[in-house]
Each structure stands twice: as C-alpha cells, then as structure tokens.
Structure 1
Amino acid sequence: MQGQFSLEHFKAPEVSYYADIVIPLALPRTYTWSVPPQMEDQLKIGMRVEVNLGKNKKYAGVVKRIHKEKPEWGDPKEILNILDGTPVVYEQQLQLWEWISSYYMCSEGEVMAAALPAHFKLSSETILVYNEEYGDDFTALDTDEFIVSEALLIRKELKLNEVQQLLDSSHVYPVINRLIQKNVCFVWEALKEAYTAKKETYVVLNPQYDNEEELAQLLNDDRRLQRAEKQMELLLSYLHLIRTTGEVTKAELLKKSNATDAQLKGLVEKKILWLEKRVVDRLPILAKDIKIDFELTPAQQKAYEEVKESFEQKPVCLLHGITSSGKTQIYIKLIEEYVRKGKQVLYMLPEIALTSQIIRRLQKHFGGYIGIYHSKFSQNERVEIWNRIKSGEMKVVLGARSAIFLPYPDLGMVICDEEHDTSYKQQDPAPRYNGRDSAVYLASLFPQGDEKKGARVLLGSATPSLETYYNAVSGKYGLAELMQRFGDVQLPPIHLVDTKTIMQKDRSKIMLSPQLVKAIQEVLDRQQQVILFQNRRGYTPYQVCRVCSWIPQCKYCDVSLTFHKLSNKLVCHYCGTNYPPLHTCAACGSHEFVQRNFGTEKIEEILQETFPKHRIARMDIDTVRGKNAHDVLIQQFEQRRIDVLVGTQMVVKGLDFENVDLVGILDADGLLHFADFRVNERAFQLMEQVSGRAGRRQSTSSVLIQTSQPGHPVLAYVKQHNYKKMFEDELVKRRHFFYPPFSRIIQLTFRHKIKGILDAAAHQFANALKGRYNDFLVGPAEPVVGRVRNQFLMELLIKLPKDNQTILNCKRDIMEQVAVLHQDSRFRSVIVVPDVDN
C-alpha cells in the first residue's frame, strides 16, 4: 500500500570505514570519526578534514589512521568535509608526532599544534550571514539591530568580534538573538581558510601588438600616443624591460620608468597594455646550482673520511671539532654528496641568529636548493616553504628545532650543528621536546639502501654534551675528531683576571677591569675588533635600598626586577611585566638605591663613555627583535662598521668573524653558580665557545675572563681548552650521584596559586609513587624561583635507570597518578607539567 514503509527504510547505512583524527588540542587521546561512503575513495592518511567536536565546535584535524574497527563506546560522528586534495603531512611525520607524544609525555594534539603552520590549524568562528530574502526595510528594528543589519546588508557576513566593535559592547548576544528570530540573518559555523596566496600585478602587452609590424605602426603612427609623451616613454620602458627580463610587474615598471599610476592607467584604457593578477612566491627563487670552490685540508679530509666510514656502520656520528677547525666545510661536502643523490638534507642550528651567516655560505655553494625555516617567518611564508619541501623541490633545509616537523619526502641526512646547545630543548609550552634527539628518531624513519638503516645523522660540536660524547666513546654513536684549527692557527691564550684584587669604592661588582680596558684599547689601536660576553641583558639586574636592603620584586614572580635604561622601565624577565622606575623604598621610605650587578645595556653605555671614538653595538634579545635585525647586526660587524660587540649567548654560538682579536668574559662567576647538576658542563661550554670567536685568522688574539674565584676547576679546563679532562671529571660525579648519562630524568613541576594546596598535592603525588620508585625520587621541593606568573611551584625529580620497560612503566604511572590527583576536588586545578630529559 502506498505511503507504508517498513522500519528498514529508516536504518542508518552501514559504516564501513572509520578514521582516527588528530585535533590541535591537548586531548587525552586520539578520537575516531566515521567516514561517509562518498568520501571513502578520496580520504587518505595525512589529509586535513573538517570535524565536529562537542555540540557545534568545528576543527581541521589530520587523519592518522583509516580502519574498520568501530569504537566500543558507540556510533561516532561523521567527517563533514575533506579540506585537501592531497595529504599535507606524510606518514613519517605522523609517526614522529606519536613518538614525541609518547616520549615527552604530551598529547598528539599539542605536537600537531607545534608542528603545523598556523594556516593549517583551523577552528570554527561564529559568523552571521545576511538573509537576502529579508530585503532592506529596517524600519521595524531598534537602533542596535539597525546598525548590525546595515553592516550585514553591505558586507553579507560579519564575525562575532566585528559585531562587538560595531556596537562598542561585548554583550551582543541579545541583539544577535533578536535578529535571528526576526529572520534578518542566521548563524553559520564554518571553517575559514587562513592562508592567502601572494598576488602581484603583471603588465602584459595586448596580443594585437605582438608582432613587429603592428608594434612599429603603434609607435610611429598612433595619434593617441603622439599626443601623450609620458605614456609613450612608459611604453618604451615596458618594451625594454620585457626584452631583458621576460616578465614585468607593475611595481617594477613604475619604479624603472619613473612614471605614475595615472600614466599606466591611460595605456590600459587605450587597450595597449593589460594588467593581470598572478599568484607569486613570497620567497626569492635562486638558480639551482652546485658550486664547491674549496678543497678540504688534510685534517678535514681525514675527519670527512672518518664520518663516511662511521655512516657505513652506525646511523649517528659525532664530529668533535675544536672551534674554527672548519666543521662547516665538512658539512658542505657531505651535503653536496646527498644532494647529488637526489636526497634531502636537514641542517639544524640552535639559534636563528646563526642562520644569516651560514645561509650566505650555503647559497653560494647550492643556490636555490637551499631553504630556511624558523619562527621569524610569517605564516604565509611558512606555508610556501612547507609546500616546496613537501614537493621535494627544496633539497637543503636550514632551520631551528621546529624544522624537524617539516614534510620531507626523502630525507637522506640530518646535520645537528652545536648539538650541545640548550636551545634545542623546548621549555614551554608542550611538547617539551629536544630537537636533536627527535631528529635522530626522525632520521630512523627514512630507510636508506639495502640495509634499510635510516637516514644518517651528524652531530657537530667543539664542546659536545656529556650524553652525546658518552654515546660516542661507548660505541653507540660513531666518532670523528678534528683537533686542528683551520690554517693551523693556534687556540687563543686565556688570561684570568682576579676581580677580588681590584677594589671598587662602592664595593660593587667589577664591570671592566683595568686589564680588560687596556687590552681593548690595544686591539682597537691595531684596528681589530672585540667581542664582550655578559649573560645578563638589561641595565642592572637588581637595585637595593641603601638603608634597609629592600629589593624591588615582581608582583607576580619571586624574582627581582631588571632596570632597562633605554625604555626607563623595570622589567620582570620571567613574566614580562613592566613597572615604572622606583625612587622610594617601599619598606623604609628611603630615596637611596644602589644598583647591583650589570647587564649588557649598562656595559654598552660604559664602553661608549670609555671609548668615545669607537663604534659600540649590543646584541641581545632587546636589540634583535625584527625578522632581519640579527642579520643586519652581524653584517655590520663583518663589514667592520662595529668595533666592539657586547652581547648575551647570541654572540657565542658558531659565528665566524675574521678580525676579532680579543674576547672578554665579563662575569664568569655568574655562569658557575646555577643550582643545576649540569652547571660545570654548561659553564665550560659557554666559555670555550665564546673564547673560540677569537683569533680565527690571527695569532695575536687572546681571551680575558673576569672572575672572583680563579682557582675554580672549570676555569682550569677552559684555560687549557681541555674538553676531555672536563668530561672525565664530570663523568665520575655523574656516576656517583646517578645523573645522566647513567640515568634518565623526568622532572615534574606542580603549579597552583595557593601554596598550601600545592604543597599537599605535590607530597600526595610523591607518596603515591614511593611504593615503586622510592629509590629514584628527589623531592618534592621548592625551586630557586618559587613563584612565576602568580603561581607557586614545586618540583619532583625522578632519576630512572636506563631500562626502557622501567621508564615506560613510570611514565604510565605518572599519567595515571595525575588523573587520580585531579579526581580530588581540592587538587583539580593543580597543574602537573612533566619534562623528560630536562
């Protein structure tokens, strides 16, 4: 009978495929959505898809796995849309995300958020869409409704924040609700693509004049042009440019011809020239050419052969080469070998300040094969670099730690230069990964040759981390050594200046000792350059009341405020809060403050007073904020437009200047007094690295280190440039106290705004772990800085044996214990941050 249907008609169609999708949020696990039948043939792993999460929030997630296993908890929601024609990430990247998530104890969504350019991470925005059927008669609406409706009539769409700006109010929901009820508009939850291609206007000759005869007639006989002299000049400029460059942009034409927009518009209106909008690359394209114009020295050749031999047996090799031994030239030879094989190479550096010098060298040798990737690029530029690497067009990528997340189709080798550097370790936010260690895992995902051993990794440093050097000498990694400076130049002699023997009237710390001032003057007289290193920025790290010794502190952190003279502000270097300068003591009312210690800004000022005829510059985070600021400063120093460069760690790392004849370390004591088991190792690395900036071409150079404890053992190692002795002595202590490389460390930091709740939570957590890990626990204890951003801190250190099963069990137990802790209503808002291999 017509109109009668069995229940069979209302059954949902059988779902045959499901997809596990990573969302860029800190979710406890990867969730599953169903794949609609019409998408089954199109959907691939690594594509972005639009999905609903919760009631009406939409996200662009990445497909991690496609399968037929229906979730136990019931029917998942359907995928709404496929956003890409091809995958945006490869399966190796998804495997890397999973490994980082597991190893560094974070979610895959947090890894995805760090890995993808912002334009690939989409989320929903509430958008009001105008209802065309309503018409344009707004007489029945009140004032607020009228304002929004008028804007919608013109724009057709408005975002929620735009409505708030229109009405100058954040409470716009009642107005929006009334407009929806009156059918003036409706709400559309939609994903918006954020990436926009760069477009350039090109000037094109009308094809009618694309032959010599027609063009000659136009130039000689066309009255429209005879009467418009400027337009004729512009046309002739265009014809000259098109013959020499092949293509002409509007901006280039107007600049070269010194013409105006109106003159060009006149030629367009006469239909002689046309304007075309074209999508162009944001990044300059260089010719792809390999030009190696140097030969390795015998010492370099030997190290190069050792690296290649090592790669036959082991996937990772350490190149231990003293400062200025020419490690970069060995890297260039290896890069050449892999590029000629058609493979990609990732060249990692710890700081983007280093990229400017290296990129100029690499572009000289490899031209357009080279690409750079770091945080100072705009999001649009990052998308273009991403796509070039993904297509395999870019063969050599120079980048900081985040470059491990790029989509390499065929990675052959990773070079991790200055592998010891702490900048490779991400601190906040999650994922708190180490770029060097993650690169070793990434390389293992790209099988090479018959052995399928993975891509090769070369770790380079003059002062390797203890863990890396231990792995090399114990046989886990290969080892190649380069102990001779390029050109056979000797390592600079190091002189210690005992600041205890120099009396200051106000007993303040010595900034520039008489010995250092004299040495600087001698170098400047020889028309050479000086680098001074001080590991504190700002003007004065703290000021003290002369009467009661009160020190101004941040309201939100337990740290003293640093005075920045140029901006005339007190700044907290932990949370970034600015305060006006203080002239009255909050404790006793006195107006007398004494400035203690010194930062790079104060040293710059003293140098300008002491050497007024010379050019002084400062290199720290305050002076190199712009995208190219560090490159400009380095080039000025290279071109000898700066005589003395004072800076923080930025001046230490891998920079190569020919004319530096003196390096001064102004406060070695500040490097030797950190509460950290790696303090001696890191102090040695910093001092050895900064001293390596001196005498790279001359034999007259020297290094001066100012210290109040010249008998400190680390200074003895630095003075002798003796890395191996430092390594052996530190190894004995590490073994005795069960620190890496003999253990694996997980540090748990607990955060809460109420100290009592924090202490109770940390001790309850530690007590729960004591049953299985009592011998491995240190703490909980308050760190040196016990409060940051108005949250109190407690730390619990876990030193685990290097047994994979024990480490996995401990990580699982920690995550379970975090869940148990948060079930207690008192501790629900306590934040627990795990940091692996800290």
Structure 2
Amino acid sequence: MAQIAQVLVDVPTMQTNDPYSYAIPDQLADQLQPGMRVTVPFGHRVVSGVVVGFTTSTQYEGQLKSIRAVLDLAPVLNPELQQLADWLAQTTYAFRITCIQTMLPNLLKASVERQIVPTNELTATERAVYFPDGAARDFDTSKLDTDTVAGLLKLRRAGKVTVTYQVKDKASVKTTPGITTSLAPQQLEDLKQSVATRAPKQAALLTYLQALPDHPVPQAKVAHAAGVSSAVIRGAETKGWLKRTPLEVYRDPFQQPVKPTTPLRLNAEQQAAVDAITTAVTQRQAKNFLVEGVTGSGKTEVYLQSIAVALQQGRSALMLVPEIALTPQMTNRVKARFGQRVAVLHSGLSKGEQYDEWRRIDRGEATVVVGARSAVFAPIQHLGLIIMDEEHESSYKQDENPRYHARDVALWRGKYHDCPVVLGSATPSLETRARAAKGLYTRLVLAHRINDRPLPTVHIIDMRAELKQHQGDDDFSAPLLTAIQDRLDRHEQVVLMLNRRGFSSFMMCRDCGFVLKCPNCDISLTYHVNPRVMKCHYCGHEEAVPTVCPNCRSRKIRYYGTGTQKVETALQKLLPTARILRMDVDSTRRKGAHEKLLNQFGQHDADILLGTQMIAKGLDFPNVTLVGVLNADTALGLPDFRASERTFQLLTQVSGRAGRAEKPGEVYIQTFNPDHYAIQLARTQDYERFFVTEMHMRHQGNYPPYYYAIQLTASHEDESVAAKAMYQILAAVKQGLSDQAIILGPTPKAIARVKRKYYYQVVIKYKHEPHLKAVLDQIRQGSQRAPRGLAVAIDAEPMNFM
C-alpha cells in the first residue's frame, strides 16, 4: 500500500476541501482505510481528521509529518457516505469535513483539549503558584480566573511553559459485568457437594455455573436466574470459581415495551399504492413516489406494508419524520410491527443512546431506521426503501452548514442503492407537487379516509365580528368555548393549537408605545409566567419583568398578544374542571417529555392538549373529536413567500387530528382574515385548488418552483462591516450572472440583528446560470480569509428569505 495518506483535517478557522498529505508510520502500514479518523500534527497543535485516500507521491517538497494515532479500529464512514459527503459539499457550498462531522453521531466527534506543560525554566515560586502538583494542567479559560490566565500567557511568551493539544475521543461504550466460569463442570459439581448444606446460595450459583455457555452472561441475568445476590457472586470470584469481565451492552432508547401488531386490511387506494411501491422495491428501481393522501387516509399502513416487502427481500428501510414530537408515536408503530430490528435516531436521545443506535445500524443489527432529519445519514446498508413522511415540513432543511434538505439526500441515496423513495403528505410542498405534475415523481393518491370516515366539519370564526359582539378575551370565541364544554360533558378530548409559546408575545408601554426588546437581537422579549421572566427566543437572553417603562418611567407597561402559558391560565379559569396538558418547547425540554405527555393524553389522563405546531402533525388519538386553532393568522403576516403555503399546510394538518376513529370530528378556526384563500381552502382540505392558486401567485412573483433561489448572507457585530462585505460579494456574483437573473438586495434581513450580530443578505433568483456555481465556490473559499468576526453563508434553495 502507498505510504502517504490523504487526510481532511478538522480546523474550523481554516477549512479546505483539499486533503493534506501525511506519512504513514511503519506500525500503521497496511492498516489504515479510507473513512478512519486519525490525529495528525497541524502547525503547532494536534488535530483530528479523516482519511479520504492514499497516494504514492506528493507535490509537497518538505519533510512530511506523520499520522500520530488512529481513533478507530474500522472506518466510521463507509464508501457510500464518503461519496455522499463529497456530493453534499458541492451542492450546499459547505466544506467536506463539515459534511462528514454532520453525518457522525456526537460521540464520534473528537474534541481538542489544550494543556499547559511546565519547563525547566520555571522558578520555584512560579511552579508553586501555577503547577502546585508539578503536572501539566488543562488550559480552559472558562474555568480559570483572569489573573491565572494572564500569568500563564506571560509565562508562555517567556518560553517557560509550552502548550500541547490533545485530541480526546468522546466515543464510549457502555458495559456491564459479564460472568464466565473458571472451572470444569466436574470441579463445579465437587464444590457444590461440599457447600450444599452450609451455603445453599453458593450451591445454587454453582448449579447455574455448570450450565453456563462459553460466552459471558450479564451478571444481572446470572443473579436473577440463580437467585443469588451480587455479594455471593463477588465471593465466588474471590474463590476463583468464576471470572467477571466487561460485557458491552446497548443503551436502549425505547422508553416502554410495545404490543406487537399485524398488518391491517388495505382499501383499494392503499393497495394500489403498496403494489406500485413494492414493485419498484422488487425490481430495484430508483423510482420516486409522491403519496398524496388526505389526513387519516392510512399512509402509515402503506409505509409499514411496503417496508415489510423490503425486509422480506433481505434489504433494509429508512423512515424519516419531521419532528421529535412525532418520533415516539411513529417509532412505536414501526417497532410494534418489526420488533428488535428497529433503531431510532433523533436529537432527543442522549449522546450515548445515539452512539449505540448508530453502531447497531452500522453493524447490520438494525434493519429499519426511524428518525428525524439527521437520520438520513444513518450508515444503513442494502437499502431497499426510503420513506419521508410529512415531506413538506420545513424542519427537514438544516439552517446551518451544511444547509442540506433531507429530501435531496434521500433522493441521492435512493439512486445509489437503486431503491424507491416515497414522499408522503396530505399537503405536499409546491416543489414536490410540481415535480409530480411534470412526471418526475409518480403520484399515488389516497383521496378517502380509512373506512370512508368523513373529514371533520370545519367552522371559520371571524374574530373581528366576535370581538365587536362580545368585547371579551381575544383567545376564545363563544362558539369554540361552547364546543369545548360540550366535549368535556361527553368525556371526549380536545386539541387546541396556538402557534406561539410563552405567556405573551411582548410587553408595551401604553403611554409612549415602548416595546421591551432583546439587547442582542432586533426582536421583542417574550413574557414567561413560570418562571416569571422576559426571554429572547433567538439568543436565550433573560431579564426581570419591568414594573415601570424604561423609556418614560410610566407604570402603564403591560403584556400584549398571547402565548401557550397565558392560554393555559385563561382556559383553567374558564373551565376549572378541565384537565389540561401544555405541549411546547418549554414543557418538553427534558428527555422523554414528548413521549410522556403524549402517553398521558393517549390514556385520557387529560381532556385538552394545548400546544404549538408540534401537535399539528402525525398524532393519532381516537377520542379527539374537536380541534381548535386559536390564531390562524400567525404565519400569514410574515415577510415570507411561503407564508400562505405554510398556513394552508398547518391548518389542514391540525384539522386532520379530529375524528380519526368512529366519532365524527369538528374543527374551529379563529382568524382575523376569514376570506384569505389559504384559510378558505384549508376548510375543505382542497389541496389541488390551493396548488393551482398558489402556483399562479408564485409565477407572478418569480418565486420557486418557477425559479431556483440562492440566499447569500454576511454577518458581523459591526453593521457597516456586514453591509460592506455584502456589496463586495454582490459585485463578485454579478460577474457570473446573465441579465436573466433577478437580484434582490443587498438589504438587512427581516430580523436584522441576532445575538449581537447584524445580518445583510442578497437573494438571487434564476433559471439557468452555468457560471454561478464556480463564483459561489470562490466566495466560499474566500470567506476563510474574511476579517475576524465576519461570517458569510450560502444557502441554496432557502426555505424563507427572513
């Protein structure tokens, strides 16, 4: 094998897509493989990197440095994921090492730690002050006081200490004691006879050890089966009867066991969809399907029966869901059908659980993967089917480097594995539906609910007239309150959606109009009642609730708008007997909170589930007969070309939570814009008419899917630096554009300041610009030499321009 390795180094301050050449030490010769993580010297420090290839020569004229160490016994990236990282870097304008890091679980992302090492130049006094135990010390400025940091920096300038960089691999395997016997069966029998009368517990253990297999058995299992305590086992180890060795075990992310299920009988529409999908699975066709089905039409059963066919053929399946909140319900349904073959991947798991699930998949022990966006990178092999549920959801797009859309990655992997990709939704994105119209996707329609159950009856409440008539609380209309009380009387359940968390949207002075804003962001602070504090939902800044206006000192400062906490409080006063569960970002911070809340609601431990948009999708509770949308206008007022589409999708999805079983459903949508086409068409779930209407609007505005779009952003703490950079970038971009391209900006972003940084943007809309990619690649590379603190971002096909 060639003795020069090509290594992509992980150096955030100066990234490149070109690997560096490193000599391979003799002890590692013929052992390295592409996809392995290594540590290498880089400048004056040691960093981690990934081997991406080998060569026999290099253009570097100096002495090559050698690889220091290998972090893995086997590649952490298989050949497919290595190719995928290269493609992702090209299409998202990110760096290859960033893409690789995105694919790996958190515990496989090595960290670099700095240590201060004393030299012989130190005086006895300096050694006593800074190195009292004589050993090197960690250099973490967040844990050292200012005087100590200053002193250490002075010693370094004087050459009295040196700084070393150690790469720490965070990957850790969970173990439990494993038991193996040390003696032959006859020896165990002789010992048992000698202790039978005076030590019956020891005799019981010896009996069990006689039947012990050759491989280690978990100590807990031995103790339970033999009926002995851990003290008896430790005593047996001391006597030399058995050995205890670490036994690797997986962390189990599943909170509770699930009851196995069997395939359900399909209706004609479902059967036609399954037949089309499984034919592509059987024939190994990289065919793309759009399953467009009204809410409650049985899309999940189509997915499950299609997965079963892939498994029967010895292949695996990947299923993506958009929200962590949906993962417990969907995972339980998949696990109930396919048992231990199911693995789950999402950010709600602990780092250890993510690592163990990743290894189960990589080892081929799990052949069905269910997860949120990042699960699209699961190292699953022999893929036979990829499913993306609720494909229209914006959460499938990552908003930081690499800015990928999970749908694009899924389509790439489908081609790689020659397997079909199924995109499912009751309200497909306009881009996906347009591709189906062009014949790029095969459209499979589920137009009817299971057993021909009717869609819920939808009432639109004009809140303008309601407030004039009742002069009351703008959270609840009289018809909605009456309908809620009716469900409580009938012991049925209610889902209420408010697309905003917190107690109230903002605080404003009634005398001077001052609005309390975040000092770091151009956004008003949100009032939270528990704990009683003002919070910024962008940077996390918190401060005390003011009692007087900071601007005019008036005491007439009040909170306005509404939030989930405020609605919960008001609802409890209006309906004191109602049992209410609140589900939003604040109430679901703890691990497992999503599943706990949904289980409580599913077991009818609550009458009303109040939440943000996380409750709008995928949830299936047969006793829910009423859905209320408290404010349907939240998204309509945003400066976003997808505002109408998102409103229609959200209202259609949340309406679909009602009447999914035998009891009929009813929906109340409260709005100040009752005549808007997105709201009117959501009332009848008329997606096709909405598609035609919205496509006409997009065509008039030159927006996707009629045009491609690129968003370029520059940010800096100094507004003038960000603006100047954006104008320089625009000048560079114009060189590669034709006169057919449409340029918007430079302008400040809709929220111009976030986390003390100002944001300026340019949006490019185009149909065919062959030189644009080369120009953007130059901008990406040039951004590495940008002034300190200036960040430049390139987003291909942004989900919004805000």
Relative to the length of structure 2, the TM-score reads: 0.89
Spell out, residue by residue over 1:109-167, the C-alpha distance to the aligned partner (whole angstroms, 9 max, x if none). 22122222233232443447899xx9xxxx99448538835374xxxx75344997699
Distance in structure 2 (CA, Å) of the matches to 1:351 and 1:166: 42
2:376 maps to which residue? 404
What CA distance in whole angstroms lies between the structure 2 residues aligned with 1:301 and 1:36?
57
Please point out which of 34, 41, 45 is paired with 1:52.
41
User: How many pairs are equivalent?
Assistant: 789
Q: CA deviation at 1:649?
A: 1.3
Deviations 1:395-436 (A, max 9, x none): 111111111222223222211111000000011x31111111
Question: Among residues 30, 41, 46, which one is paired with 2:30 in the alignment?
Answer: 41
1:91 has 2:60 as partner = no
1:23 aligns with 2:10: yes
Partner of 1:316: 288
Is 680-689 or 75-84 further displaced after alignment?
75-84
Shift of 1:53: 1.6
Matching residue within 279, 282, 300 for 2:270: 300
1:199 corresponds to 2:166:
no
Q: Where in structure 2 are there 5+ consecutive unaligned residues? A: none
Deviation sequence 1:745-777 (CA, Å, 0-9, x none): 111122122223333332343344345355421
In 2, distance between residues paired with 1:608 and 1:45?
Answer: 60
What is the match of residue 97 of structure 2?
Answer: 109
One of 459, 483, 498 as aligned partner of 1:534:
498
Return closer, same or farther for 1:397/1:582 CA change in 2, 3 Å cut-off: same
Shift of 1:353: 1.3
1:159 is aligned to 2:138: yes
Q: Does 1:836 align with 2:802?
A: no
Is contact 1:18-1:69 (8 Å) kept?
no
Measure the CA separation in 2 of the matches of 1:660 and 1:244.
52
2:141 and 2:229 map into 1 onto residues whose CA distance is: 36
Q: Deviations over 1:591-611 (max 9, x none)?
A: 122321111111111122222
Q: Distance in 2 between matches of 1:601 and 1:96?
A: 44
Q: Distance in 2 between matches of 1:458 and 1:721?
A: 22
Aligned-pair distance for 1:288?
A: 14
Separation (CA, whole Å) in 2 of partners of 1:456 and 1:334: 10
Q: What secondary structure, in the 3-state scheme, does the structure 1 residue paired with 2:148 have?
A: coil
Structure 2 CA distance for aligned equivalents of residues 561 and 34 of structure 1: 51
**Residues 15 and 784 in structure 2, CA contact (< 8 A), matched pair in contact too:** no
User: Would you say the 8 A contact 2:116–2:139 is kept in 1?
Assistant: yes
Deviation at 1:533, TM superposition (A): 0.5
Shift of 1:515: 0.9
8 Å Cα contact 1:489-1:699 kept in structure 2: no
Task: Tell me the equivalent position of 1:800.
Answer: 766
How far apart, CA to CA, are the structure 2 residues paired with 1:148 and 1:66?
43
Q: CA 1:712–1:128 in 2, change beyond 3 Å: closer, same or farther?
A: closer
Corresponding position of 2:107? 119
Q: Which deviates the most, 115-124 or 477-486? A: 115-124
Say if 1:757 and 1:16 are closer, same or farther in 2 by CA, change over 3 A: closer
Alignment-derived partner of residue 148 in structure 1 = 131
Q: Indicate the larger mover: 293-302 or 614-623.
A: 293-302
**How many Å separate the matches in 2 of 1:69 and 1:143?**
48
Residues 235-284 of structure 1: per-residue CA shift (max 9 Å, x gap): 75997899899987556788999998767656655666764432322237
User: Aligned residue for 1:430?
Assistant: 401
Aligned counterparts of 1:741 and 1:163: Cα–Cα separation in 2: 48
Match runs of 1:203-282 below 5 Å: 207=183, 213-214=189-190, 216-222=192-198, 225=199, 249=218, 275-282=244-251
C-alpha distance in 1 between matches for 2:228 and 2:564 = 48
Give runs of aligned pairs for residues 497-512 of structure 1, distance below 5 A. Answer: 497-503=461-467, 510-512=474-476
Could you tell me how far apart the structure 1 residues matched to 2:705 and 2:479 are? Answer: 40
- Name 1:703's counterpart in structure 2: 667
Q: What's the offset of the Cα at 1:442?
A: 2.1
Superposition deviation, residue 345 in structure 1:
1.0
Q: Is the contact between residue 204 and residue 227 of structure 2 (CA under 8 Å) also seen in structure 1?
A: no
Residues 747, 530 of structure 1: alpha-carbon distance in 2 compared, 3 angstrom cutoff: same
> Residue 551 of structure 1 aligns to a residue in which SS?
coil
Pick the aligned partner of 2:684 from 708, 720, 727.
Answer: 720
CA separation of 1:291/1:619 partners in 2, compared to 1, >3 Å: closer, same or farther?
closer
The yes-or-no answer on 1:465 pairing with 2:441 is no
Per-residue deviation at 1:619?
0.7
Contact 1:24 1:113 in 2 (8 A): no
CA pair 542-73 structure 1, distance change in 2 beyond 3 A: farther
Structure-2 change in CA distance of 1:503 and 1:272 (3 Å): same
1:444 matched to which residue of 2?
A: 415
Alignment RMSD: 3.7
Distance 2:414 2:516 in 1: 49
Residue 215 (structure 1) shift: 5.8
Looking at structure 1, the residues matched to 303 and 131 of structure 2 have their Cα atoms a distance apart, in angstroms, of 61
2:771 alignment partner in structure 1:
809
The residue type equivalent to 1:633 in the other structure is: L
Map of 1:375 onto structure 2 = 347
2:278/2:309 contact within 8 Å kept: no
Deviates most, 244-253 or 507-516: 244-253
Which structure would you say has the larger Rg?
Answer: 1
1:170 partnered with 2:149: yes
C-alpha separation between the residues in 1 aligned to 2:303 and 2:479? 39
What displacement does 1:493 show? 0.9
Match of 2:356 in 1: 384
Counterpart residue identity of residue 283, structure 1: D
SS of alignment partner, residue 573 of structure 1: coil
**Identical-pair percentage:** 32
Between the aligned partners of 2:411 and 2:247, the Cα distance in structure 1 is 41
Tell me if 1:330 matches 2:309: no
Q: Is the 8 A contact 2:39 2:47 kept in 1?
A: yes
Contact in 2 for aligned 1:242/1:248 (Cα 8 Å): no
Q: What is the distance in 1 between the residues matched to 2:777 and 2:315?
A: 40
| Contact 1:472/1:479 (<8 A) preserved | yes
Whole-angstrom CA distance in 2 between matches of 1:341 and 1:380? 32
C-alpha displacement of 1:506: 11
CA distance in 1, matches of 2:205, 2:666: 57
Q: Which residue of 1 aligns with 2:313?
A: 341
Pairing partner for 1:607 from 550, 568, 571: 571
1:660-699 aligned within 5 A: 660-699=624-663
Flag structure 1 segments of 5+ consecutive residues without an equivalent.
1-13, 226-231, 447-453
Match for residue 747 of structure 2 among 781, 792, 799 = 781
Asked if the contact 1:204/1:274 (under 8 Å) is kept, the reply is yes
Segment drifting more, 74-83 vs 703-712: 74-83
Contact kept, 8 Å, 2:113 with 2:166, in 1: the verdict is yes
Cα separation, partners in 2 of 1:22 and 1:668, compared to 1, 3 Å: same
SS in 2 for 1:277: strand
- 1:70 is matched with 58
Letter in 2 for 1:379: K
Q: Which stretch has the larger CA shift, 160-169 or 552-561?
A: 160-169
Aligned match of 1:558: 522
Q: Displacement, 1:102?
A: 1.1
Q: Is the 8 A contact 1:122 1:193 kept in 2?
A: yes
Output one character per residue of 1:189-214: Cα deviation in whole Å (capped at 9) or x when no partner.
Answer: 44333222212134667747877843
Task: Look up the match of 1:766.
Answer: 730
Residue 639 (structure 1) aligned with residue 603 (structure 2): yes
| One-letter amino acid of the counterpart of residue 617, structure 2 | K
**Residues 215, 115 of structure 1: alpha-carbon distance in 2 compared, 3 angstrom cutoff:** same
SS of the residue corresponding to residue 352 of structure 1 reads coil
AA of the residue aligned to 1:615:
R
State the AA in 2 paired with 1:300: Q
* Aligned equivalents of 1:151, 1:535: Cα separation in 2: 58
Return the alpha-carbon distance in structure 1 between the equivalents of residues 643 and 145 of structure 2: 56
More deviation, 44-53/329-338: 44-53
